[in-house]
Amino acid sequence: MRAYFARHAQTLIGSLGRLVSQPFGSAMTMGVIGIAIALPLLGSLLLQNARLATSNLNTAFDLTVYLDKKAGSARTQQLAKQLRLRGDVAQVRIISADEAFAQFRNDSGFGKALDALADNPLPDTLVVTPTLDASTPHGTETLKSAIAAMPDVQAAQLDTEWVKRLHAMLDVLKRVVLLTGALLALGIVLIVSNTVRLDILNRRAEIEVMKLVGASDGFARRPFLYSGIWYGLGGGALALLFAAAAGAALAQPVEQLATLYGSGFRLQGLGFLTAASVLGIAALLAWAGSWFAAQRHIREIEPA
């Protein structure tokens, strides 16, 4: 049994030596694998970070309630009072039409041009913050429809609509990443399969000799399966390198962007577990590719 493992270890090292002895060809194969893995890997990292960046926005569900212009400020106060009594409302802030107009006049840059207007076109507005318990998509939705049904309410708008849309987009993107990943995985299997096939044909004479002195198909196959695993590990390592480089290149601009949005968000890199599974998956795919080639072509080679 020990001899068996020693033999496997020897073949493992031997196949690595063979790859090192043809650095250019091996590097090309590994490079292709690396790129094929780096693409979906970067895609999933992007998704993961986008989710992380928007997850804290999810809890800040504020509802903006636009009132009927004809309602008047007394009615506004009354509505605010009514809303404050609700169990699922934490806070109600009133932005009167005058306040809103003054702010708009300041911020919009239209300034004096707005003075030409005969009267203020803006309605009174209530900003309703739900309680923490009610800050779920369902809870806010219930609150929103309840408010919308109240008299003198023109419209109730959830400020987080765009977050929902973003999440829907992220879901679509996730599918795209998964699909691309599946296609590229198939690509890796095919590439390694073809590389190993050429490898086998190049060493046809050697395989013949091995079979003549009693090697089984399995024995002749073994070094090729191991070189497949090496291709995978090399390609996986390259993919991690690509991803790390892309992360480093993006870290600063993302930080800047986050700061502009007043967020402390920082780009999350690859965890150890992700890195390990990238290597594992790469090795597995490449092994599968070499297995297909070896299974088929080693059987065909018979001494004559």
Partner 1 sequence: MIRFEQVFKRYPNGREALSGVSFSVESGELAFLTGHSGAGKSSILKLIALIERPSRGQVIVNNQNLSGVTRRRIPHFRRQIGVVFQDHKLLHDRPVSDNVALPLIIAGVPKREVDKRVRAALDQVGLLGKEKSRPLELSTGEQQRVGIARAVVAKPKLLIADEPTGNLDPDLARDTMQLFKRFSEVGVTVVVATHDVHLIEQFGARRITLSAGRVVATS
The contact set with partner 1 (CB under 8 A) reads 2-4, 6-7, 205-206, 208-217, 219, 302-304
Shortest CB 302 distance to partner 1, Å: 8
Shortest CB 219 distance to partner 1, Å: 6
**Identity of the residue, 197 or 222, whose beta carbon is nearer to partner 1 in the bound complex:** 222
Shortest CB 210 distance to partner 1, Å: 7
CA distance 168 to 61: 17
Q: What is the dihedral of CA 64, 70, 71, 72, to 10 degrees?
A: 100
**Identity of the residue, 2 or 138, whose beta carbon is nearer to partner 1 in the bound complex:** 2
Shortest CB 286 distance to partner 1, Å: 24
**Identity of the residue, 213 or 273, whose beta carbon is nearer to partner 1 in the bound complex:** 213
**Identity of the residue, 11 or 136, whose beta carbon is nearer to partner 1 in the bound complex:** 11
CA distance 216 to 235: 30
By the 8 A CB rule, do 240 and 278 touch?
A: yes
237-259 core/surface letters (b: 16 or more CB in 10 A; e: else): bbbbebbeeebeebeeeeeeeee
Shortest CB 207 distance to partner 1, Å: 10
Q: Give the pairing type, strands 153-158 and 125-130.
A: unpaired
**Identity of the residue, 209 or 245, whose beta carbon is nearer to partner 1 in the bound complex:** 209
- Greatest Cα pair distance, the chain, in angstroms, is 103
